[in-house]
């Protein structure tokens, strides 16, 4: 594992300036065993080097796919609840889904955690969660960085970022070039907010005078915090299984911007008409819409509204695709049709 997990704030004395090398080292020790469990024979060298090494083999004409992203202000929810492991799942699954949209299989992951003052136990919990998510996907967690930066972050503020790299045969890439008018758009169920829209979601709670520990009838009696902390779902295993049986022509990860902002990215200049009544919407969105008085257009523009990932297949493969996905344990629906006109319309 290539850590580089040293603090990066200057001063005559690191400790006096607010940075503790010891806290960083303790974080590494607490997470080391969980990280090393994600390593297989393709991870070369021992943990602690300056770069993570991964032997890429089995490809004739490999293409690397990479992405970087963060979990945004969901960190404030996790911090308030003292529930950090879910952030590790969030960042791995988010980044792995992004790589997946190209047709590549996620292979390696690196994390970055920054704070004004590191809490070694909390840092280790985030990374252990990331390691668990990596193990589920067959991804190697080969590196990371932690940084104490007082003056940049204050109080208990911190940030979580991840980088994922995958690979595919050039001929297996999915770029939307095969999408045609009349193709079917299949939506895969989200687990809730995933990692997007938390600034608005938290404001709705605050403006309503609620707290994360409050329950609400629109949430089925669950607490706001429990629902808001639901981890981001991964679609890697389900989609790769689908591609063994059905030609997938385009894929979109529904993150910030919702369906209108993300689905067109895989349609090669075409558009889509969606039936908003065709999928099941998690209760959290009805809660935000009702309690916050958020307009439907804004809901669609900010949140995934229950569709976390989309695949585009031929009309003739639509029913089989939804059956295969649902059979794999991920609810899926035919949510719309590709149109010649650019943009996304809701019917």
Range(s) of the domain holding residue 48: 14-172
Q: What's the CATH number where 42 sits?
A: 3.30.1330.10
User: According to the model, what pLDDT value does residue 156 have?
Assistant: 80
- 332 and 248 belong to one structural domain: yes
Of 172, 195, 212, the residue that ends a domain is: 172
pLDDT digits (tens, 9 = 90+) for 133-160: 999 999 999 999 999 898 898 888 899 9
Which of the four pLDDT bands, split at 50, 70 and 90, describes residue 50? confident
Residue of 208, 207, 212 whose CA lies nearest to 223: 212
- 158 and 266 belong to one structural domain: no
Answer for the pair 336, 278: CB distance below 8 angstroms, yes or no.
yes
- 159 and 203 belong to one structural domain: no
Residue 1 lies in a domain: no
Q: What's the CATH number where 199 sits?
A: 3.90.650.10
Residue 233 lies in a domain: yes
- 136 and 249 belong to one structural domain: no
Number of domains observed in the structure of the chain: 2
Percentage above 90 pLDDT, the chain: 78
**Tally of helices (H runs) and strands (E runs) in the chain:** 12, 12
Residue 71 lies in a domain: yes
- 138 and 22 belong to one structural domain: yes
For 70, list phi and psi in degrees, rounded to 5.
-130, 180
Q: At residue 253, does pLDDT exceed 80?
A: yes
Residue 2 lies in a domain: no
Q: What is the mean pLDDT of residues 75-79?
A: 94
Query: Residues, the chain, total?
Result: 347
User: According to the model, what pLDDT value does residue 11 have?
Assistant: 47
Residue of 267, 288, 131, 125 whose CA lies nearest to 198: 288
- 214 and 245 belong to one structural domain: yes
Residue 55: DSSP 8-state: -
- 146 and 265 belong to one structural domain: no
pLDDT digits (tens, 9 = 90+) for 56-75: 988 999 999 999 999 999 99
- 287 and 155 belong to one structural domain: no
């Amino acid at each position: 594992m290539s850590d580089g997990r040293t603090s990066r704030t200057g001063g005559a004395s690191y400790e006096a300036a607010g940075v503790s090398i010891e806290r960083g080292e303790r974080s590494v020790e607490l997470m080391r065993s969980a990280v090393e469990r994600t390593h297989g024979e393709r991870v070369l060298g021992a943990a602690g080097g300056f770069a993570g090494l991964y032997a890429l083999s089995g490809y004739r004409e490999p293409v690397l796919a990479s992405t970087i992203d963060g979990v945004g202000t969901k960190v404030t929810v996790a911090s308030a609840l003292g529930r950090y492991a879910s952030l590790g799942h969030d960042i791995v699954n988010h980044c792995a889904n992004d790589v997946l949209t190209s047709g590549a299989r996620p292979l390696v992951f690196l994390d970055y955690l920054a704070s004004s003052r590191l809490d070694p136990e909390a840092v280790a919990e985030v990374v252990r969660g990331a390691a668990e998510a990596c193990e589920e996907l067959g991804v190697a967690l080969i590196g990371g960085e932690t940084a104490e930066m007082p003056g940049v972050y204050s109080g208990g503020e911190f940030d979580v970022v991840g980088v994922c790299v995958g690979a595919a045969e050039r001929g297996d890439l999915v770029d939307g070039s095969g999408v045609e008018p009349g193709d079917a758009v299949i939506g895969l169920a989200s687990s809730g907010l995933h990692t997007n829209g938390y600034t608005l979601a938290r404001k709705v709670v605050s403006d309503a005078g609620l707290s994360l520990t409050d329950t609400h009838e629109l949430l089925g009696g669950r607490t706001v915090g429990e629902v808001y902390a639901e981890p981001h779902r991964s679609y890697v295993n389900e989609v790769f299984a689908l591609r063994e049986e059905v030609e997938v022509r385009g894929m979109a990860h529904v993150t910030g911007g919702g369906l209108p902002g993300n689905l067109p990215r895989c349609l090669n200049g075409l558009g889509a008409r969606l039936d908003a009544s065709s999928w099941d919407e998690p209760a959290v969105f009805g809660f935000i819409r009702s309690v916050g008085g958020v307009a439907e257009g804004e809901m669609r523009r900010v949140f995934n509204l229950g569709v976390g990932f989309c695949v585009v297949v031929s009309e003739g493969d639509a029913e089989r695709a939804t059956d295969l996905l649902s059979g794999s344990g991920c609810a899926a629906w035919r949510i719309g049709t590709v149109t010649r006109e650019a943009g996304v319309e809701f019917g």
